[in-house]
Amino acid sequence: MAAEFGLYYPPWNYTGKPDDLLERVAGEVGIDHVTIPVVTGECVQFRLGRLDEAPYFHTEGGWHFPAQTKLYTGSVRPPVARWLGKRDVPARICERAKALGLSVFFRIDVRAVGSLTDRAPHLCQRNAWGQELHTLAACTSNPELRDLLRATLDDLMRYEPSGVELANWSPEGTVDWPNRGRALQHADVPVLLGMCFCPSCRQIATKTDLDPEQAARSVRVHIANLSATPTDPRFQELLDKDELLGAYRAHRVGDVRDWLDRLASAWAELRRFYVRDFDGLRTTGPESDGWAPLLRVGRDARRRASDAACAEAADWDASRAFSILVCHRVFEEASALVNVVTARVRAGADFFDFEGLDETPPEVVTWLKQAVRYARRE
């Protein structure tokens, strides 16, 4: 199967002009699709391609399309991003894409919308003490959050997309904790603090005859022990042997995976990807048969995508879909981008999104043109 290449195109970059980035990339690079992020968290951009207009852009995030409120029957309603006003920008982009012969994919990151938990605190994950974790996203076990995602997918079908990309739907979180005290610096503490014990997660455990309160008590004991001996190398061994915590985590992860599989069956006609962030050696995100993994090499990657160390990651070698941030912090010259894209196609990858072109100098479009041209020869 020939590889398919696309431009990640935030809707706020739409200008309606025939010579903007989408037109240029479609004409010069020869892409096959456009990927529109339609639900995001807070975003800040400085767009080098718009220096003569309005290069700085900020949005608090939300739904970047006019949601049809009748489809959202639950108590949690979609907050529409303020910049959008009453316009339907994704509809205009879809029209342009069709005129250019491009298919359309939508990327959805419902949990990144911070105002959801601000408006509906009951969606929050809770720690082993029952406290709301506002630094983490809403819990994927919560049925209202699941209904919100399902309604969002229903809503987007009016645009007739070819596929969807779901991001940030992992049931496991890690609390980003300030470096205060030696116990809190231990690598396992943020993981334990991020283990969710909200009512929805507890209910999942109860259905499998697990005692969620006993699992929460176990977390509290482990953290207390870490505060006394935070550098004890035997602690990880003790944690690995905690069968109750292992079962509690496995059942929650399995429930999310099964729900994602059921969700996928409702849109069998669409191509479906789950965006998994790649940090150079590992990926994050749930496994689901209904959603193909799409590895995202982002601006926070500690290793360049061309590092030899990436070969140590099985997910990197096996993946058939990538979303690559095309910027100088990831690639320093055209040859690096050409080599990575060509190598991935040679290894069997057949789907690519290229992100960040609006934040790079114009010559990077030429880099991308070279990368796609060489990759198509494989």
Query: Exposed, middle or buried, 308 (CB in 10 Å: 0-12/13-18/19+)?
Result: exposed
Query: Strand locations in 198-242, DSSP E?
Result: none
The conformation of residue 283, written as its DSSP 8-state character, comes to B
Q: What pLDDT is attached to residue 351?
A: 97
Query: Strand locations in 284-339, DSSP E?
Result: 292-297, 321-325
Query: Exposed, middle or buried, 346 (CB in 10 Å: 0-12/13-18/19+)?
Result: exposed
- Structural contact between residues 46 and 359, judged by C-beta atoms closer than 8 angstroms: yes
What residue type is 173 in one-letter code? G
CA distance 270 to 104: 11
Q: Which CATH number among 3.40.50.150, 1.20.58.100, 3.40.50.720, 3.20.20.80 corresponds to the domain 4-171+253-376?
A: 3.20.20.80
- pLDDT greater than 50 at residue 304: no
For residue 339, give every residue at least 6 positions away whose Cβ sits within 8 Å of its Cβ, in sequence order, or none: 306
pTM, whole model, 2 decimals? 0.91
* Dihedral angle computed from the Cα positions of residues 33, 42, 90 and 77, in that order, rounded to the nearest 10 degrees: 130
CA distance 142 to 346: 41
Residue matched to tokens 């316009």: 87
What residue type is 119 in one-letter code? R
Calculate ∠ Cα 323-321-114, nearest 5°. 45
CA distance 305 to 298: 9
- pLDDT greater than 80 at residue 118: yes
- pLDDT greater than 60 at residue 313: no
Question: In the beta sheet, which residues pair with residue 35?
Answer: 8, 105
pLDDT band at 181 (very low <50, low <70, confident <90, very high): low
- pLDDT greater than 60 at residue 281: no
- pLDDT greater than 50 at residue 312: no
Q: What is the pLDDT of residues 76-111, one digit of tens each?
A: 999 999 999 999 999 999 999 999 999 999 999 999
pLDDT band at 308 (very low <50, low <70, confident <90, very high): very low
Average pLDDT over residues 274-301: 74
Strands 124-126 and 132-138: antiparallel
Average pLDDT over residues 143-168: 96
Query: Exposed, middle or buried, 238 (CB in 10 Å: 0-12/13-18/19+)?
Result: exposed
pLDDT band at 294 (very low <50, low <70, confident <90, very high): very high
Domain coordinates of the chain in residue numbers? 4-171+253-376
